[in-house]
Amino acid sequence: MARHQRIVILTGAGISAESGLGTFRDKDGLWTKYDLEEVATPQGFARNPAFVHEFYNARRRNLLEARPNPAHHALARLEREHPGRVLVVTQNVDDLHEKAGSRNLIHMHGELAKVRCAACESVRVWREDLSLEHVCAECSTKGRLRPHVVWFGEMPFAMSKIELALAACDLFVSIGTSGNVYPAAGFVQQVREGGRAHTVELNLEPSEGHTLFHEQVYGPASEVVPAYVERLLGA
């Protein structure tokens, strides 16, 4: 395998499935049990903030117990050992990439272990349950703290940094994502239009856009990701 200088890796819920965190669109996925309009839109939060807090509190509690699996560890190892640059762009709001040791990491859909004040926009680390009773430590406003996650209809974070990395990469790897949610679902097309980079999908099953990738490997992330990283580092 040719030595790549700049690698961009997009991850989705499938990389964390074997750490016990549910995916969204698989059988038993979160969006089969909850209406995303109710729990993952600004309008849903405005209608019933207590219910939305309950939903994210439960997910935050799950996160406290979750541990990275061999796929997260393999990506952290790639960043440490690869002589070129490795950027992980994750759609996941869990913190398993950083727990495994990834440092060059963008949380484009935000982070569950942080809250943001809707009044003053300050962001802080938050590991407990969140409620309407909480007061912002920065501006003292009560009841305006919200999970620091991106809801449908909101702009993902760090898009200009991501666009630059996509334009400059020579290898793009998509892991554990169904390819349903834009803009992330469009990254492979953007990279292909640039014409320089090799593109690879590692997933349990073919995603929506699987034909856009030069190469596909299907299987559980805990197996296919370490094997792929081994191949990259051994090249």
Instruction: Return the active site residues.
Output: 109
Site for ligand OAD in 89-108 (CB under 6 A): 91
Q: What is the DSSP secondary-structure string of 149-208?
A: EPPTTSPPTTHHHHHHHHHH-SEEEEES--S-STTGGGHHHHHHHH---EEEEEESS--T
The radius of gyration computed from the CA coordinates of the chain, to the nearest angstrom, equals 18
Q: How far is CA 8 from CA 37, 175, 181, 197, in A?
A: 31, 11, 18, 10
Is there binding between residue 177 and ligand OAD (CB under 6 A)? yes
Q: Minimum distance from CB of 23 to ligand OAD (Å)?
A: 3
Q: Out of 52, 162, 169, 221, point to the residue binding ligand OAD (CB under 6 A).
A: 221
Site for ligand OAD in 147-176 (CB under 6 A): 150, 152, 176
Q: Out of 40, 96, 106, 162, point to the residue binding ligand OAD (CB under 6 A).
A: 40
Residue span binding ligand OAD (CB under 6 A) among the ranges 57-65, 127-135, 140-148, 197-205: 197-205
Torsion angle defined by CA atoms of residues 210, 160, 84 and 98, in that order, rounded to the nearest 10 degrees: -80
Q: Minimum distance from CB of 38 to ligand OAD (Å)?
A: 13
Is there binding between residue 88 and ligand OAD (CB under 6 A)? no
Q: How many CA atoms lie within 13 A of 233 on its CB side?
A: 16
Helix orientation angle between 70-81 and 221-234, rounded to the nearest 10 degrees: 20
Q: Are 41 and 153 in contact (CB under 8 A)?
A: yes
Residue span binding ligand OAD (CB under 6 A) among the ranges 20-28, 55-63, 72-80, 125-133: 20-28
- Separation of alpha carbons 102 and 107, rounded Å: 12
Q: Out of 7, 17, 86, 229, point to the residue binding ligand OAD (CB under 6 A).
A: 17
Name the token pair of 111: 């982070």
Residue span binding ligand OAD (CB under 6 A) among the ranges 17-25, 77-85, 130-138, 162-170: 17-25
Site string for ligand OAD, 47-86 (x = CB under 6 A): ----------------------------------------
| Residues 34-66 as b or e (16 or more Cβ within 10 Å = b) | eeeeebbbeebbeeebeebbebbbebbeebeee
Q: Minimum distance from CB of 176 to ligand OAD (Å)?
A: 4
Nearest residue to ligand OAD on Cβ basis: 14
Pairing verdict, β 105-107 and 123-125: unpaired
Identify the DSSP state of 118: T
Is there binding between residue 24 and ligand OAD (CB under 6 A)? yes
Q: Minimum distance from CB of 25 to ligand OAD (Å)?
A: 4
Q: Contact positions toward ligand OAD, by CB under 6 A?
A: 12-14, 17-18, 23-26, 29, 40, 91, 109, 150, 152, 176-178, 180-181, 203-205, 207, 220-221
